[in-house]
Amino acid sequence: MTRKIVIIGGVGGGATVAAQLRREDAESEIIVLDKGSHIAFSNCGMPYHIGGLVKNRDDILYSTEQFRKKYKVTVHTNTEVKAINRSTQRIYYQAALDAGELGFDKLILAPGASAIIPNIEGLNPQRTFPLHTISDMDNISDFIETKKPQSVAIVGAGFVGLEMVENLRERGLKCTIIDRSSQAIKIIDEDLAAIVENHLNDKGVQILLDDGLASCSNDGKTLHLNSGRKVEADLIIMAVGIKPNTELAIDADLKIGTTGAIAVNEYMQTSDPNIYALGDVVEAPDTVTGTPRHVALAWPAHRQAYIIARHLTGATASFNGTQGSAILKVFDLTVGATGLIAIN
Ligand SMILES: Cc1cc2nc3c(=O)[nH]c(=O)nc-3n(C[C@H](O)[C@H](O)[C@H](O)COP(=O)(O)OP(=O)(O)OC[C@H]3O[C@@H](n4cnc5c(N)ncnc54)[C@H](O)[C@@H]3O)c2cc1C
């Protein structure tokens, strides 16, 4: 009998698991549902489209029609899964024009994470944007085109924040980056972070550390920091982190781990063996310490997709953990990190 495999989320983890699975299994019916309008796009390319390096927007997108044909997969975009019923093995979705339900033999959760927007008094959503989805990217590009901002404050000096600084400098904006910790890029050592911070200064970026955004005024253009400092900015990029999209899993009573992400075994099965999960929504053991860690990067999602495809087709490859290896370009520097840092 043909199996029905339903995948929730169709980008980093979801599209990859669909493609990997089809390579191993020509028979199963594979159905991907994504609440966004695009699947299999390159999140990593978004800052560079905003900066103008990737001129053609289509270069970071993958045609849904092509994906359907190439992998013989059914894809429903603009379709949000609202609930999972484990006992009847059905999911319930809401699409633009209709609502419906689908049965599954195996379910794969790849709903990723959402950008955190802190509840800050006076923040104006018309000029404050995260960068997590294609619509976020389009909103930022449209704002730059139509409102012609001269200055930007980037809140958060992590990977996305720093990529945005470089790309918005490229667009000619005066950049200020704000972070409440004492260094940029928390996952590297302090002395290396100092090199990055000096380089940002050399490139004309103001970097304010040990300081957080307390409130905004003046139509969201004046940022008041915890220290009492004020920053003026026409545009704010909120890059303070993400939280895993665990609502469906929590409602379905699947086990959530100590980091707040979904707990899975080495084959990426959740506490229900018919339901797998991968990518930004799961935690995995750290390779060094073995303790659960939430690492939101493309490599673990891709590797986990392979593990799930293998497991669903009878093989026993397992996911043994993550080191969080990552690499980042900051203007003329390349910053790499792997493993853990010592915290004093
Ligand atoms: C700006 C940016 C730059 C990045 N750069 C890098 C990089 O250089 N290197 C790197 O390794 N990683 C990078 N990442 C991280 C990487 O993109 C993610 O780790 C990876 O995409 C995770 O895959 P995922 O499938 O878990 O989540 P996603 O790729 O985010 O996909 C989740 C999908 O699920 C959909 N969804 C959510 N809930 C539902 C629901 N209820 N019903 C239907 N659909 C739903 C969402 O619409 C989304 O399309 C970057 C991320 C961003 C935002």
In the structure, what pLDDT confidence band is assigned to residue 8 with cuts at 50, 70 and 90?
A: very high
At residue 344, the pLDDT reads 55
Q: 340: pLDDT confidence band, cut at 50, 70 and 90? A: confident
Res. 316 pLDDT band, cuts 50 70 90: confident
pLDDT greater than 60 at residue 32: yes
The CATH classification number of 4-114+242-312 equals 3.50.50.60
Domains 4-114+242-312 and 117-240 agree in fold:
yes
**Average pLDDT along the chain:** 96
Catalytic residue among 19, 44, 209, 340: 44
Residue 1's pLDDT is 61
**Nearest in space to 70 (alpha carbons), one of 11, 22, 36:** 22
Instruction: Answer whether residue 342 shows pLDDT above 90.
Output: no
Q: Which CATH architecture has domain 117-240?
A: 3-Layer(bba) Sandwich (3.50)
Query: Cβ < 6 Å from ligand 1: which residues?
Result: 8-9, 11-14, 33-36, 43-44, 46-47, 80-81, 110-112, 131-132, 160, 245, 248, 279-281, 296-299, 301
Percent of the chain beyond pLDDT 90?
96
User: Which residue is closest in CA terms to ligand 1's atom 53?
Assistant: 132
Whether residue 6 is predicted with pLDDT greater than 80 in this model: the reply is yes
pLDDT in tens, 147-184: 999 999 999 999 999 999 999 999 999 999 999 999 99
**Is 44 labeled as catalytic in the residue annotation?**
yes
CA of 141 to the centre of ligand 1 (A): 19
225: CA distance to ligand 1 center in Å? 30
pLDDT for the residue 66: 97
What's the rounded mean pLDDT across residues 56-66?
96
CA of 135 to the centre of ligand 1 (A): 13
pLDDT tens digits, residue range 179-204?
Answer: 999 999 999 999 999 999 999 999 99
pLDDT at 315: 87
Q: Can you give the pLDDT at residue 280?
A: 98
Output the CA torsion 222→227→229→235 (10° steps): -40
CA distance 10 to 35: 9
Domain layout of the chain by residue ranges? 4-114+242-312, 117-240
